[in-house]
Amino acid sequence: MSGGPSLPQERKLVTAIPGPKSAELLKRRSAAVSAGLGVGMPVFVTAAGGGVIQDVDGNSIIDMGAGIAVVNVGNSADKVVENVQAQVAAFTHTCFMVAPYMGYVEVCEHLNRLTPGDHEKKSALFNSGAEALENAVKIARVYTKRQAVIVFEHGYHGRTNLTMAMTAKNMPYKQGFGPFASEIYRMPMAYPYRWMTGEENCAAEALEEFIHKVEKELGPENVAAIVIEPIQGEGGFIVPPKGFLPGLAAFAKKHGIVFVADEVQTGFARTGQMFACEDEGVVPDLITTAKGIAGGLPLSAVTGRAEIMDSVHVGGLGGTYGGSPIACAAALGAIETIEEHDLVSQARVLGEIMTSSLLEMQAKHPVIGDVRGRGAMVAIELVKPGTKDPNPDAVAQIVKYCTAEGVLVLSAGTYGNVLRFLPPLVMPEHLLREALEIIEKAIASLV
Ligand SMILES: *Cc1c(COP(=O)(O)O)cnc(C)c1O
């Protein structure tokens, strides 16, 4: 069976979801795999590409998740496949710190070029988003000789011990897994839809509260880093109001604090810009990237000011697999694809289709409290009609409906009441429109 971009771009259901073959395999999965891992779409995948995922029963499902904003260039993008195949045949691993190879250096050069700011930059490569965050904190602490790390309500930074401490939501990410790393301080997030005194006051008041708390409770001179997602991902695509991020960056600069933008989910064209920080011209000191970087292969990075990145002693950073030659080859293919096909613009095109359609739905269905996001990172927040009370049941029903109809959608949010849409940026527009029609039917069918 051939996958990748050549897969027929259609939604096609030939069985119920899950079909008989997937149902059998789900039993094998339960018998062999830890119960600690959840299941989203209950099918087993045989191929994926463009905007679809094909399963063992022959169903073709519209993919509104892109593996959680990973396959921005699509599954098995031509350039990614070509580069990976050539690299696997040449050599698979030496460990970059043992015997270097050029793929690693080239990925760093691209990151230094593509990330915001025209100052001198350097990069280091790792495997996962969490590992990039861990390393950003290590680097910021060495550079500043300070310990405190500031994070935000609704923030998500990963599942390792340090990044669990940095992540806001308890269930399912943290429950029972403590004790957690110390010196992590969580500040109120500028969340326009739920700001107590109204959206228009959100930026100024959130910033004021932030500054008050840091000055009175922490002491800015103790703070190594402020770490924030420019648009929060798992927290429910919370877009901070204009002024909030620049305000934080200015505060960080004033006090010698390293400002870290966690662009693991927002990066690589997703938001209609190469990086979400660009929207307000914010230039972070360090930026963490992962998900969209390598077309599906595990790779992550910390990129930032050369003097900060170089403050670490030789041997202080690294890891056996970090910046694997295969993942680097994939990243070079993914970056080339993003630039050649102008996926930054395509993210805006897909975003416009989603946003206009979802706003029309909101006018008809009061269960949609908020429509928000940027580029091809769009979400709806579901509430009990006439209130702002979170409505996670509605999300569960919509996910169930869409699953049965062959549309993969993801939920999110501290209250579990957000549906988020992250189509591959190469999804054909007719498939996106079809997915939105099914989402509307799901909303209309809510009881
Ligand atoms: C997914 C994510 C992480 C963690 O990345 P992993 O590769 O799962 O470790 C960190 N930060 C953000 C913003 C993310 O979306």
Q: What domains, with CATH codes, occur in the chain?
A: 4-63+342-444 (3.90.1150.10), 78-340 (3.40.640.10)
Q: Give the largest Cα separation in the chain, rounded.
A: 62
Write down the pLDDT at residue 139.
99
CA of 22 to the centre of ligand 1 (A): 28
CA of 138 to the centre of ligand 1 (A): 17
Burial of 103 (0-12, 13-18, 19+ CB in 10 A): buried
Average pLDDT over residues 48-74: 98
Q: Best of 173, 291, 299, 321 to mutate for ligand 1, by most ligand atoms within 8 A of CB?
A: 291
The residue nearest atom 15 of ligand 1, judged by CA position, is 265
**Is the distance from the beta carbon of residue 287 to the nearest atom of ligand 1 less than 6 Å?**
no
**Is the distance from the beta carbon of residue 130 to the nearest atom of ligand 1 less than 6 Å?**
yes
pLDDT digits (tens, 9 = 90+) for 385-411: 999 999 999 999 999 999 999 999 999
**Is the distance from the beta carbon of residue 128 to the nearest atom of ligand 1 less than 6 Å?**
yes
pLDDT digits (tens, 9 = 90+) for 157-173: 999 999 999 999 999 99
* pTM of the predicted model as reported, rounded to 2 decimal places: 0.98
pLDDT digits (tens, 9 = 90+) for 254-292: 999 999 999 999 999 999 999 999 999 999 999 999 999
Residue 142 has pLDDT above 90, yes or no: yes
Confidence of residue 14 (pLDDT cuts 50, 70, 90): very high
**Is the distance from the beta carbon of residue 155 to the nearest atom of ligand 1 less than 6 Å?**
no
For the chain, give the secondary structure using H, E and C.
Answer: CCCHHHCCCCCECCCCCCCHHHHHHHHHHHHHCCCCCCCCCCCCEEEEECCEEEECCCCEEEECCHHHHCCCCCCCCHHHHHHHHHHHHHCCCCCCCCCCCHHHHHHHHHHHHHCCCCCCEEEEEECCHHHHHHHHHHHHHHHHCCCEEEEECCCCCCCCHHHHHHCCCCCCCCCCCCCCCCCEEEECCCCHHHCCCCHHHHHHHHHHHHHHHHHHHHCHHHEEEEEECCCCCCCCCCCCCCCHHHHHHHHHHHCCCEEEEECCCCCCCCCCCCCHHHHHCCCCCEEEECHHHCCCCCCEEEEEEHHHHCCCCCCCCCCCCCCCHHHHHHHHHHHHHHHHCCHHHHHHHHHHHHHHHHHHHHHHCCCEEEEEEECCEEEEEEECCCCCCECHHHHHHHHHHHHHCCEECEEECCCCCEEEECCCCCCCHHHHHHHHHHHHHHHHCCC
User: Which atom of ligand 1 is found nearest the CA of 133?
Assistant: 10
Q: Best of 265, 266, 277, 418 to mutate for ligand 1, by most ligand atoms within 8 A of CB?
A: 265
CA of 445 to the centre of ligand 1 (A): 33
**Among positive and negative, which fits the CA dihedral 404, 405, 408, 414?**
negative
CA of 345 to the centre of ligand 1 (A): 24
**Is the distance from the beta carbon of residue 134 to the nearest atom of ligand 1 less than 6 Å?**
no
Average pLDDT over residues 354-372: 98
CA of 210 to the centre of ligand 1 (A): 24
Give CA–CA dist 345/317, Å, rounded: 35
Confidence of residue 2 (pLDDT cuts 50, 70, 90): low
Give CA–CA dist 223/258, Å, rounded: 8
